[in-house]
Amino acid sequence: MNTIQVQDMVAEVEAVMHGIPEDERLINDQRYDAEQIGLNLFESVLTNSKHWKVNGMGVTMEHPAGVRLDLDVMGSMLMAVQEDEHHLVISVDGQPICVAGEGIFHDVPMSDHLTTVVLLGEAGFPVSHTPDTLYMLHSPTHLLKVMGGDHLSLKERVSAAKMLVAYVHEEEGTGLISNQAFDLAETGNLPPQVEMELAHSDLLPRFLPTLGGGGETMVNQFIDLLVRLTRHRPGHQSDVLQRFVDVHAQAMRRKDQERLRDQLLALCETSRPDLYPLYETADAVHQDAREFDAYHELHQEIVYLPPHLRAEHYGAPADAYENVHDVEDIMDF
């Protein structure tokens, strides 16, 4: 990396930051000072980079996957200081990419995030640390290999599944990549956390082809999937799985919600007490639906109550000219 170019770019960024009036900053003085300290680290790391190049007020790299990454250093810093915005200004082949999420916290300076991206680029963007939105930096073949690699960590396999889901969405669950992902899940060797990512994707109709039709067969199939997703780690239910149950139970018919709740309860009372949190979720959806039905029926009764019954039940309306107190009472009501 050209040291002079790096120093000039960082100096220009610092000069622009210093030129921003205090009343136009949305960050406090402590955070502002941290941004400047972070820029010193960013300059040091970038100077020793072998893959990034300075490009105006940003840096760029040609990724081995055949795409170009552009990181707008000036834009990212201005957004951080003036808007307290924690998204990096980054693009791939000229297309803006949303990079935020895990690791993007309000107490971490933007300059530190810029340094992190540079270091990730130097390391080839490892699967376990690549943001999901940069999935195009890894080929589907590589992600499938990571997902199925028993010797790899759970974090790497889950991250690979999250990125592969983007390819599945592009194919709408019907292409070659989707078929390979589903076949891999069919082996039954994937950790539930990995398979959960696929179940959330457009591959769900492959796991539950009867979901749209409803009925006892669909509920049984849904229960089988829940058992499958929890088979390796009983007693460690995640919020993700409970949200999964909540979303799909709400889309079910009332009778199917009741079947789902009863079958989960039966499992809890016999062989799988660890599924009780999922039963509570399904029961809550069923109870809410029942309350909604009751409110709806009451509303219908009120709306379609014949006029003569309304007069008999509620009495004649008050005469505003004879008894103003009755009118006030009605208004208070």
Q: Are residues 20 and 57 in the same domain?
A: yes
Residue 61 lies in a domain: yes
pLDDT band at 130 (very low <50, low <70, confident <90, very high): very high
94, 125, 156: which is the final residue of a domain? 125
At residue 23, the 3 state secondary structure works out as: helix
pLDDT over 70, % of the chain: 83
Beta bridge partners of 58: 55, 72
Query: Exposed e or buried b for every residue in 72-86, given b needs 16+ CB within 10 A?
Result: bbbebbbbbbeeeeb
Residue type, 252: M
How many residues does this entry show for the chain? 333
pLDDT in tens, 189-235: 888 889 999 998 999 999 999 988 899 999 999 999 999 888 765 44
Q: Are residues 22 and 73 in the same domain?
A: yes
Beta bridge partners of 70: 60, 91
> Among the residues of the chain, which ranges form H helices?
3-18, 29-47, 73-83, 110-122, 140-148, 154-171, 176-186, 192-200, 204-207, 216-229, 239-250, 254-270, 276-303, 307-314, 324-332
Domain count within the chain: 3
89, 108, 125: which is the final residue of a domain? 125
Dihedral angle sign, alpha carbons of residues 220, 226, 228, 234:
negative
Whether residue 90 has pLDDT greater than 60: yes
Q: Are residues 120 and 160 in the same domain?
A: no
Residue 306 lies in a domain: yes
pLDDT for position 232: 66
Q: Are residues 83 and 152 in the same domain?
A: no
pLDDT in tens, 264-323: 999 999 999 989 999 999 999 998 876 666 655 655 555 555 555 555 444 445 554 455
Least reliable range by pLDDT among 90-99, 118-127, 151-160, 238-247: 238-247
Q: Which domain holds residue 171?
A: 134-207
pLDDT for position 325: 56
Q: Are residues 121 and 200 in the same domain?
A: no
Sheet strands side by side (includes 90-92): 53-55, 58-62, 68-72, 90-92, 95-97
pLDDT in tens, 101-115: 444 455 788 999 999
Q: Which residue in 295, 292, 226, 286 sits closest to 256, CA to CA? A: 286
pLDDT in tens, 18-27: 999 988 998 8
Q: Which residue in 117, 141, 139 sits closest to 129, CA to CA? A: 117
Region class of 28: left (phi > 0), else alpha (psi between -120 and 50), else beta: beta
Q: Are residues 8 and 25 in the same domain?
A: yes
pLDDT band at 238 (very low <50, low <70, confident <90, very high): low
Q: Are residues 25 and 114 in the same domain?
A: yes
Q: Are residues 95 and 182 in the same domain?
A: no
Give the number of other CB atoms < 10 A from CB of residue 135: 23
Does the pTM of the predicted model rise above 0.75? yes
Q: Are residues 158 and 71 in the same domain?
A: no
